[in-house]
Amino acid sequence: MEEAGGSPALSRNCEQARNSTSRISSTPGADTRGKDSVRVSSLYPFSAVVGHDDLRLALLLTSVHPGIGGVLVRGEKGTAKSTVVRALAALLPPVDVVPGCRFACDPERDDPTCPDGPHRPDGDVLTRPASLVELPVGATEDRLIGSLDLERALTEGVRAYQPGLLAAAHRGVLYVDEVNLLHDHLVDLLLDAAAMGRAHVEREGVSVSHAAQFLLVGTMNPEEGELRPQLLDRFGLTVHVTAAREVDTRTEVIRRRLAYEADQTGFAARYADADAQLAAQIAKARAALPDIALSEVELRRIAAVCAAFDVDGMRADLVVARTAIAHAAWRGAAEVSEQDVEVAVRLALPHRRRRDPFDEPGITEEQLEQAMDQAKQQAEEQPEPPDDDGPDGGERPETQERQQQSNSDGPQGTRDEAKAPTAPDQGFRARLLQVPGLGEGAPGKRSKSTADGGRVVRPAAHQGRGLHLVGTLAAAAPAQRARGRSGPGLVLKRDDLRLAVREGMESNLVLFVVDASGSMAARQRMSAVSGAVLSLLRDAYQRRDKVGLITFRAEEAHVALPPTSSVDAAVARLRRMSTGGRTPLAAGLLKAQKVLAAERMRDPKRRPLLVLVTDARATVGVGGDPVQDGLRAASLLQADGVASVVVDCENGPIRLGLAADVATALGGAVLRLEQLDADSISGAVRAVRAA
């Protein structure tokens, strides 16, 4: 990872890491004698991190203005993402809290709805460091938002709320490492809380609302799968980090890391002064924030540049405005300038250009320069007076025309479509293909599941997973008098125990086996086939599946992509797929059997779904008749219990129907290529029938 130094304007502070799975930390030995003091830690200092100027600036601006909405850090492994983020909390000013309040209420701004309130207005005040809370990938909903207090329920018989990590992160930092691997419903919950500044809990007979204002930071490795565009948009800023390729920079990283390992305390002390300056600068910028002026010209500039990039909704405009204000406060200016807007655009818009799951996020320097030039012209124009509207009270026709032209053109490159000829029609929406039965795999959105992460639907005496607390208490309550209960607590018996019956959805391993032979390409079917598979890959992305890609042509089958969570990689391989040659169908199916067997050993709970895309006109066997060899290979997959669907790509006036025979041997369904479009058939969902 890159550690040490950086530019003087972006010096940093002390590391505050703890290596537990979920952690709530305030630096030991913290100096809280003054608001501008910095906590000294023996862990790696933030100011010792080399480079990553955009990342450090994004974190600082979000610290100055939490309303920006958090930072998403994307980057390859080993680039100090976690090191930088964990160190951030040590830079934040200490917070005054009400002693004993589990929700870190500010004594000067008492929250009348605090579950631990009301608090005395003249009560004691406790000053402590800002908290750093880490949300592990395997966290449950109970751990995030809180749940029924089990101890009080059993000892006192009352329904009391036990706060979760959102409450612990209030007025501090909530850090989610590998946020792209976090369950989608948990990401939705924490992003909702971050946007509203409050967490609302309605579950298990508990109804609670509490403040949850925190600096949200997520890190992720894109190789392990992307966040959905809808979730990307909820993060205020995003930064992509990579390891430096310059020898001098990498040398300095090694030098400082070795020095830190040799003397942690002494190494941290060398950067304490720079850290203290940054901590003071954050506090000063926060205090100046309300007085920063945002002129009409800069407001129009912000609106114009967001329109130029054709971003959805108004969240981008608001985030750019807040970031520009924070940057002006950070550099000590009294009002927002074009420089502040450009910095804000660079940090706030790249991930919002990602409309399709397979669009690459990012903005080039050329695109940014052109958008800012367009915005400058519109920012300096005088706004139309209200009485110049059209006859119906709306915009004048020429205004609408200019707006439509701006949206359609945009800065150079912002509307470019993927250059691959395999892109499907925009109206094509892949139908749902499911694995039959009930699985226990990782949470997702494809097949039915009874996994622990499912939604609790009811208590039951003899089936389910885990204790259903409310159901157990409800079953035991009527019998308490008869059991002679005379004091606090409940008298429980084995017959009172109720289990939680859960229903949910799982993700699957979707293995695509694609016929790339000449019999497909010669009739120019490959473009349509690739487009259909691309739509299925988009569907797999949205349902959080793992995917793999096998192609077969000429004399053999090739694993183009081993099973992975990065659907983007499958798209890239599909677009580079070679075609032509003979049709070794049996080789493709045998290769699929081998890949699935290895994956079953690696991840036994994830059920596979085989999607075979072919016209099944086999011309190469494994020692016998090519067609019969293909059917025998298919029967081996059926014997392994692999759920399958065959996409029949045969066309023309003479059709042999060989794909249907292969589907029968696989024990799966057969669909025509055009039937993959869910909108083309009434009753769009068809499950793959059981083997």
Share of the chain above pLDDT 70, in %: 77
414-417 long-range contacts (CB < 8 A, ≥24 apart) are 414/308, 414/309, 414/310, 414/353, 414/367, 414/371, 415/310
Cβ atoms 94, 129 nearer than 8 A: yes
Written as one letter, the residue type at 310 is D
Runs of H (alpha helix) within 146-183: 150-155, 165-168
In CATH, what class is 8-94+129-288?
alpha beta
Cβ atoms 22, 269 nearer than 8 A: no
Number of H helices, E strands in the chain: 22, 21
Cβ atoms 210, 198 nearer than 8 A: yes
pLDDT of 377-390, one tens digit each? 777 776 665 554 44
**Residue of higher predicted confidence among 656 and 413:** 656
So which residues are the catalytic ones? Answer: 315
Judged against a pLDDT cut of 80, whether residue 40 lies above it is answered with: no
Other beta carbons within 10 angstroms of residue 488's beta carbon come to 11
Would you call 408 helix, strand, or coil by DSSP?
helix
Beta strands in 450-553, from DSSP E residues, in sequence order: 455-460, 499-506, 509-515, 546-553
Instruction: State the pLDDT at residue 677.
Output: 65
User: Is domain 506-680 in CATH 3.40.50.300, yes or no?
Assistant: no
Q: Half-sphere exposure of 17 toward its Cβ, with a 13 Å CA cutoff? A: 13
Of the given ranges (579-583, 670-674, 687-691), which has the lowest mean pLDDT? 687-691
Judged against a pLDDT cut of 90, whether residue 221 lies above it is answered with: no
Q: Give how far Cα 662 sits from Cα of 416, 665, 666, 674, Å.
A: 40, 5, 6, 19
Judged against a pLDDT cut of 80, whether residue 580 lies above it is answered with: yes
Instruction: State the pLDDT at residue 62.
Output: 92
pTM of the full structure:
0.65
Judged against a pLDDT cut of 80, whether residue 523 lies above it is answered with: no
Please state whether beta strands 443-449 and 499-506 pair in parallel, antiparallel, or not at all (unpaired).
Answer: antiparallel
Would you call 463 helix, strand, or coil by DSSP?
coil
Cβ atoms 563, 547 nearer than 8 A: yes
Q: Which residue has the tokens 């954050």?
A: 282
- Boundaries of CATH 3.40.50.300 in the chain? 8-94+129-288
pLDDT of 624-652, one tens digit each? 899 999 999 999 999 999 999 998 988 76
For residue 679, name the pLDDT band (cuts at 50, 70, 90): very low
Instruction: State the pLDDT at residue 155.
Output: 60
Instruction: State the pLDDT at residue 8.
Output: 35
- Boundaries of CATH 3.40.50.410 in the chain? 506-680
**Residue of higher predicted confidence among 417 and 84:** 84
Q: Give how far Cα 654 sits from Cα of 375, 538, 661, Å.
A: 59, 32, 16
Judged against a pLDDT cut of 50, whether residue 23 lies above it is answered with: no
Instruction: State the pLDDT at residue 18.
Output: 31
Mean pLDDT along residues 55-69:
91
**Residue of higher predicted confidence among 403 and 657:** 657
pLDDT of 391-408, one tens digit each? 444 444 444 444 444 444
Would you call 416 helix, strand, or coil by DSSP?
coil
Instruction: State the pLDDT at residue 525.
Output: 61
Cβ atoms 501, 464 nearer than 8 A: yes
